[in-house]
Chain A
Amino acid sequence: DIQMTQSPSSLSASVGDRVTITCRASQSISTYLNWYQQKAGKAPNLLINAASSLQSGVPSRFSGSGSGTDFTLTISSLQPEDFATYYCQQTYSSPLTFGGGTKVEVK
Chain B
Amino acid sequence: QVQLQESGPGLAKPSETLSLTCTVSGGSISSDSFYWGWIRQPPGKGLEWVGSIYNSGSTYYNPSMKSRVTISGDTSKNQFSLQLTSVTAADTAVYYCATSFNWGLFEYWGQGTLVTVSS
Contacts and interface: CB of A to CB of B under 8 A. Distances in A.
Interface residues of A, number: 22
Contacts of B111: 42-43
A53 B46 CA distance: 23
18 contacts: A36-B47, A42-B111, A43-B98, A43-B111, A43-B112, A44-B96, A45-B109, A46-B106, A49-B102, A87-B46, A89-B104, A89-B106, A91-B102, A94-B104, A95-B62, A95-B64, A98-B48, A101-B46
B107 A46 contact: yes
Interface in B44-65: 46-49, 60, 62-64
Interface of B: 46-49, 60, 62-64, 96, 98, 100, 102-107, 109-112
Contacts, number: 51
A91 B107 contact: no
A36 B110 CA distance: 15
Interface of A: 1, 32, 34, 36, 42-46, 49, 55, 87, 89, 91, 94-101
Interface of B, secondary structure class, is: loop
Contact of A98 (B47, B63, B109, B112): B47
Contact of A91 (B46, B47, B103): B103
Contact of B105 (A42, A91, A94, A99): A91
A96 B112 contact: no
